[in-house]
Homo-oligomer: A and B are copies of this chain.
């Protein structure tokens, strides 16, 4: 059905079955797992609970995904592909429309697809946005390598775009500031309770993506545009 024409040629390092190809059991596992992982973190979810919740056998996870980590990656591959495609599409539009990239419009090409995903009710996207943020912050070796390997083009194109929007920064300064900017954005979306220590818990625990963006954007924009230390 799904174009398995020359299945031997392509180097498809990781499992990347489309939703249609996957077995019902595997899908059931992925849906339940995404929810539980986002709630309790990777280590907070025992396979025995997960499989029980999904109504499948304990060994099913290892059979369909190789390992618990494999299941984790599978969730990412499936969700990340359309998200990144969405970002790149917005970026492309931006690059053809405007001669000069503005920083704000550039940041919007990342934030809008995240928002769209986060607000799509039927795709469990909101859960994934939190899971993605949480995972990037938790520094999972596997996922990080997967992104770097699979989406090199994405990374390169955004590096170039940011360089264009912030020409006054040299390579080192740009790297640091992108590091900071994405730290803030992911932390905000992760809905971490981390820094409640320094804040009133009722205020910052808001989960509404629009509110988050309203607060994040000015901060990040100003930080990126800060005068360069010399």
Chain A residues engaging chain B, CB cutoff 8 angstroms: 43, 136-139, 144, 147-148, 155, 158-159, 171-173, 175-180, 182-184, 187-188, 192-200, 203-204, 214-229
Contact = CB atoms under 8 A, between A and B. Distances in A.
B192 A139 contact: yes
A223 B180 CA distance: 11
A63 B229 CA distance: 51
Given A137-B137, A226-B219, A178 B194 contact: no
Task: Describe A's contact surface by its main secondary structure.
Answer: helix
A183 B177 CA distance: 13
Contact of A194 (B137, B172, B203): B137
Contact of A218 (B138, B144, B228): B228
A116 B50 CA distance: 46
Rank and list the top 9 A-B pairs by shortest CB-CB distance, nearest first.
Answer: A222-B226, A175-B199, A223-B223, A219-B223, A183-B187, A176-B215, A218-B226, A175-B203, A222-B222
Nearest to A221: B226
A132 to B, nearest CB: 12
B197 A147 contact: yes
B178 A199 contact: yes
